[in-house]
Amino acid sequence: MSRYIMSRVLQAVLVLVGATFVIFVITFALPGDPVQALAGERAADPAFAEAIRARYHLDEPLLQQYVRFLAGALHGDLGQTYSGQDVAQMLGERIWVSAQLAAFALAFQIVIGVGAGVLSALRRNGVADTGVRIFTLAGLSIPFFVTAFVLQLVVGVKFGWLPVAGTEDGFLSYIMPGFVLGSLSTAYVARLTRGQLAESLREDYVRMATAKGLTRVRVVAHHALRNSLIPVVTFLGLEVGALLSGAVITESIFNIPGMGQAMARAVYLGERTTVVGVVTVFVFVYVVANLLVDLLYAVLDPRIRYA
């Protein structure tokens, strides 16, 4: 098993280097001169442009810049934004914000998604099941930024139940954006849980457990559900990565100072260091999440062995 992990970690390093290089090259293709973007509405003064290019080594060839980035990154130095902020430090602050948002989204997916799925499977074709199916259909088909604007106007502005934007109200601030971010996958989790559980409930071992005289709750929760959750857990594991990186629009709408927001602006400004820094973190999270999910397979299903 440790040999398997070792080889996976090695692969991960290769993926990281490859991904950062590809992103690095792509940022050169972004339209517009980043120095001009810094200057806002006026044409950048040539002396200023020259000073900035020299300071951030923008005048060097692509490969030399990449090697410089890589050497810095190995020392934990991701460089600076063109307005002078330390990228590593900025990401350190922002990843925490994004992690909280992702945690809320994940919590919604688990609580609402699995809950609705179970309810639906137990009362198949009943009123609850139909209700859940309608809601999940809506969740899957309404673009999440529409959900975001509608919730912001209704829950935030009209009723004032939750803060409209920002993070200054602590955990209350994360409820609405967390729900929006998780909404699409919540519907997916509910449908997945429903299907799996409905199938499990027809299995022999469930009938056996019921025959043993166990309570309905124990049969469903301990025997049927546990087995049905295997694909759900796999899905959620991969979802962690998607939630961190998929928050670009949600963070912008709800004014949450996370990684997605930094990414969106950096792309617009053509700020190579920030784009590459954020992507490095995204890739890292994805690689780790993937590895964990693969390892989890072996845990969930003893028939899978990594020798």
Partner 1 sequence: MFLQIRGMVAIGLTSVLLASVASCGGSEAGKKTGAFSAAILEPSSLMPANYSEVYGAQVVSALFTPLVTFDIKTNETRLEVAESVESTDNKVWKVRLKPGWTFHNGEPVTSRSFVDAWNFAANKKSAQLNAYVFGDIKGYREVASGAEETMSGLRVVDDLNFEITLVRPWSQFRQLLGYPAFSPLPSVAYKDPKAFEQRPIGNGPFVMEGAWQHDQQITLRRNDSYAGTKAKAGEVQFKIYQSFDTAYNDLLANNLDVLPAIPTARSTEAKSLLGDRFGESPSGRMEYLGFPVNGEKFTSPGVRRAISMAIDRDAITKAIFKGTRTPATGFVPPVVPGAAADACGALCVHDAAAAKAAFDAAGGIPGGGFTIGYNSDAPENKEWVEAAARQISKDLGVNVETKAYPKLAVLLGDLSSGKVDTAFRTAWTFYFPSPENYLKPLFTQDAGENFSRYRNDKFEALLRDGAAAKDTEAADAKYAEAERVLLDDMPYVPLWYQGVMVGHSKRVSDVSVDSFRRLRIESVVVK
Q: Contact 183/144 with Cβ under 8 angstroms?
A: yes
Q: Which of 169, 205, 207, 208 binds partner 1 (CB under 8 A)?
A: 169
Closest CA to 267 of 127, 110, 81: 81
Rounded CA-CA distance 78/234 in Å is 32
Rounded CA-CA distance 135/130 in Å is 9
The answer to the question of residue 152 lying near partner 1 (CB under 8 A) is yes
Polymer length in residues for the chain: 307
Q: Contact 276/291 with Cβ under 8 angstroms?
A: no
Give how far the C-alpha of residue 9 lies from the chain's centroid of Cα atoms, to the nearest Å: 21
16-55 binders of partner 1 (CB under 8 A): 31-34, 36-48, 50-52, 55
The answer to the question of residue 2 lying near partner 1 (CB under 8 A) is no
The answer to the question of residue 104 lying near partner 1 (CB under 8 A) is yes
Build a one-symbol-per-residue string for 210-229: x at contacts with partner 1 by CB under 8 A, - elsewhere: ----------------x---
Q: What is the smallest separation between the CB atom of 231 and partner 1, expressed in angstroms?
A: 14
Alpha carbon separation from 163 to 97, 99, 109 (Å, rounded)? 16, 19, 21
The answer to the question of residue 124 lying near partner 1 (CB under 8 A) is no
Q: What is the smallest separation between the CB atom of 2 and partner 1, expressed in angstroms?
A: 16
Rounded CA-CA distance 189/228 in Å is 12
Residues that bind partner 1 (CB under 8 A): 31-34, 36-48, 50-52, 55, 83-85, 90, 99-100, 103-104, 106-107, 152-153, 156-157, 160, 163-172, 174, 226, 252-255, 257, 261-262, 264-265, 268-270, 296, 299-300
